[in-house]
Homo-oligomer: A and B are copies of this chain.
Amino acid sequence: MNGYSVFCVSDHTGVTVESVAKSVLAQFPHLEFSLITLPFVDSAEKVRETTVRILDTPQPLVFSSLTDPQLRAILGEAGIQSFDIFDLVAPAVGAALGQIATPSGGHTHGMAPDYEARMDAVNFALNLDDGLNPERLGQADLILVGVSRVGKTPTALYLALQYGLRAANYPLTPEDLEHHSLPGVLLAHLPRLRALTLSAERLAAIRQARYPDSRYASLAQCRAELDAAEALFRQYALPVTDTTRMSVEEIAARLRSLQQSLP
């Protein structure tokens, strides 16, 4: 390993600084690096331990998100250059606002105001996974519909965890598709239905990994189900997201954005 050791030092979970480091380093495509995230570095003692570890490492590159400038200073005094979110971004924001950043404001530790809502949404997504408890569909912010293995469950969970949206998901079975109409239980909720589809090739690959060489995973079966499902989506004019080349994060961001643009 002769690449860089990229440290992401945070006084909280490190999710933000890790995400910034990855985005920025993607702009240096030839760089080889391994990533080490150090969360909860929230005292002078822990910063000193971190300092020792960094100084012991060849070719370190340090990103940080340390609310307290005194903690950031410890890195600097040890001769470690760090790219700190607050150092780099807060002064520009402060100048625009005509205010000075107050470190004690800090992160939202622990349960942020939206925390309970997000956890409720996770339970909701689990309770209304895969067509369960359809009598509660009226409580959903949105209802994902699509054939088996199109990505409904992980998308619903991500919508809940990241955005606090209550997402149910309802599978369209081959039997449903034969009826050329949506299952009756969905008809009362048309404005909140969000259709997911993807290419038959990708669906077959996903199903193949789970049930190799089954009829369920065959390209012909996938294509037939997707064609029938897409005909239904058109029939009811549902908003459709093609997930073929999208990650769950991307699908969720798009659905949330759609949600916010609704009246």
Residues in A lying within 8 Å of B, measured CB to CB: 12-16, 19-20, 22-29, 31, 36-40, 61, 65, 67, 81, 83, 85-86, 88-90, 92-94, 96-97, 99, 101-112, 115, 119, 122, 126, 153-154, 157-158, 161-162, 245-250, 252-254, 256-257, 260
Q: A24 touches which one: B26, B38, B85, B110 (CB < 8 A)?
A: B85
B254 pairs with A39, CB closer than 8 A: yes
Q: List 25 A-B contacts (CB under 8 A).
A: A15-B19, A19-B19, A20-B20, A20-B85, A22-B108, A24-B101, A26-B107, A27-B101, A27-B102, A27-B105, A28-B97, A28-B105, A29-B102, A36-B260, A38-B257, A39-B257, A83-B89, A83-B92, A89-B89, A109-B250, A110-B246, A111-B245, A122-B154, A122-B157, A126-B153
Tell me how far the C-beta of A256 lies from the nearest C-beta in chain B, rounded to whole angstroms.
Answer: 8
Nearest-neighbor residue (CB-CB) of A109 within chain B? B250
A260 to B31, CA, bound (A): 23
Tell me how far the C-beta of A98 lies from the nearest C-beta in chain B, rounded to whole angstroms.
Answer: 10
Chain A facing B: main interface SS:
helix
Q: Given A29-B105, A102-B29: A257 and B40 within 8 A (CB)? A: yes
A154 to B119, CA, bound (A): 7
A102 pairs with B154, CB closer than 8 A: no
Q: Given A28-B102, A105-B29: A40 and B89 within 8 A (CB)? A: no
